[in-house]
Amino acid sequence: MSGGDGECVEVAAAVVAVHIRDSKVRSGPVLTVTAQAWAGFVGLAADQTI
């Protein structure tokens, strides 16, 4: 996801988890959350205005 300012993340969905990382630091840390937690986050983010 990118807003054009270089702030990008990559998201990879697996069977029971979602993995998120900084696209500029491919060997850096990965945040892993459950698919349910990711769906909740996306739902909340979709309700926000920027």
Q: For position 12, what pLDDT does the model report?
A: 94
Q: For position 4, what pLDDT does the model report?
A: 61
d(CA 18, CA 34) in angstroms, rounded, equals 6
d(CA 3, CA 6) in angstroms, rounded, equals 7
pTM (global) more than 0.75 = no
Residues of the chain with pLDDT under 70: 1-6, 50
